[in-house]
A = this chain, B = another copy of it.
Amino acid sequence: MLGVMTPSETIAKHPRNSDWAIELRGAGLRATSQRIAVLAFLDHNPHSDAESIRNGVLHILPTVSLQAVHVIVRDLSSAGVIRRVDLADSTSAQYETRTDDNHHHVQCVGCGRVEDVDCVVGHAPCLTPSNSHGMKIFETDLTFRGLCPSCERKNNDKIHND
């Protein structure tokens, strides 16, 4: 998981732009500078929404519009190159490059911060529904909601001051 990788591991893991180009073509998509910039940013900044992505790539693509970013993440998501994450405590969708491990998330309901949680499927029979109502299940969305340390502290302070 990204949060516990050392900087060198992180860098070693990150594909270079040319690799992103290969991945895009492999998915049947053209390797445009916009898509590569979005992928490179997203790989270093998982759980970013469209606006954060735009801000993050503006120094490379000063003219990119928010709508363009929306089109890009929609196309990349439906091609399976990135994953779209919709969380109850976020008003906007978030995106990430980790796609093939069906991992899950923890979100702080105070500040919205999101972190990855490794998948428990496989050694976790309980992730088969007790009753699927006849539906053929192919994905399990699992999100833990809680309070991060700093929001918990703020919360306690507030209670003591009332």
Contact = CB atoms under 8 A, between A and B. Distances in A.
Chain A contact residues: over half helix, strand or loop, or mixed? mixed
Interface stretch (A13-21, A68-76, A117-125): A117-125
Nearest to A137: B146
Protomer copies: 2
Contacts of A141: 88, 141-145
A127 interface: yes
A149 B135 CA distance: 6
Contact of A126 (B115, B126, B136): B126
Nearest to A151: B135
A104 B126 CA distance: 12
Interface of A: 1, 3-4, 84, 86-88, 104, 106, 108, 115, 117-118, 120, 123-124, 126-127, 129-149, 152
